[in-house]
Amino acid sequence: MTDLTGKTILITGASRGIGAAAARAFADQGANVALLARGTDAIADLSGEIGPTALAIPCDVARWSEVARAVDATVSAFGGLDVVVNNAGMIEPIGGLAKVDPGAWGNAIDVNLKGVYHVMRAAVPVMLAQRSGTAITVSSGAASHALGGWSAYCASKAGAKMLTECLHAEHGATLRVMGLSPGTVATQMQREIKASGIGPVAQLDWSDHIPPEWVARALVWMCTEAADDLRGTEVSLRDGGVRGRIGLA
């Protein structure tokens, strides 16, 4: 799709699903990839698979100090930071507002919303010093449409969407800032949703979900000049026109 040789991409939630597929896709285009996740074994295995252009960094995005150290380690290893993909996210707890555990609800906010802020807060000064950079937040239709039983996920994703818009409002003249709403993707999150039995998404068949490789291709494409007209927006893979531009079936 494009030559990203020498560019450095930081991906959160890189241990599986969209994050792992994105790591492979960016590496295939010649980029260095920093793989952040709590699952240390998984990112170590993925780093070994990709080779010397990959760096596995155990990191809980809900903890500011760990994110700050991860960004520092990325810059130290590769000499800069060109793209951040805020992908780490969780769907649980699924359940009614009056029943879900407050601690679990707060944990979803910590990961899905505060985690995005932590990465932006650590990475944006590096990018501004370089006078260039791309920040992409993996969003969801739940950021704009309330779903019963998904209060933590909807609220956190709506907050992350607005946070991304704030970043564009502040630094859109220098940085490329976008969101990506992929629709339903065949990942572990969908298995958790299916197991809950709650809501319309839980009723979908596995074949209804797109593969994570489609999302990975979209993320790579969004880092090219071909997507410059979409800066400051939330790109939707439900849009046939967008899929056509990316070259997805």
Q: Which residues are catalytic?
A: 153
Sorted by where each begins, the domain ranges of the chain are 8-184+211-240
Structural contact between residues 95 and 198, judged by C-beta atoms closer than 8 angstroms: yes
Backbone φ and ψ of 234, nearest 5°: -105, 115
Residue 56 burial (CB count, 10 A): 24
Tell me: domain 8-184+211-240, CATH 3.40.190.10, correct?
A: no
Q: What is the pTM of this model?
A: 0.93
Other Cβ atoms within 10 Å of 103 Cβ, number: 8
pLDDT tens readout for residues 150-169: 899 999 999 999 999 999 99
The pLDDT of residue 186 is: 66
Residue 94 has pLDDT above 80, yes or no: yes
Angstrom distance (rounded) from CA 204 to CA 194: 8
CA atoms within 13 A on the CB side of 126: 26
Average of per-residue pLDDT across 60-80? 98
In this predicted model, what pLDDT tens digit does every residue of 167-197 receive, in sequence order? 999 999 999 999 999 977 767 777 888 788 7
Give the pLDDT confidence score for residue 2 in this predicted structure.
Answer: 66
Two tokens at 115?
């985690």
Instruction: Write the pLDDT tens digit of every residue in 236-246.
Output: 999 999 999 99
CB 206 within 8 A of CB 231: no
Measured at the CA of 224, the angle between CA 218 and CA 225, to 5 degrees, comes to 130
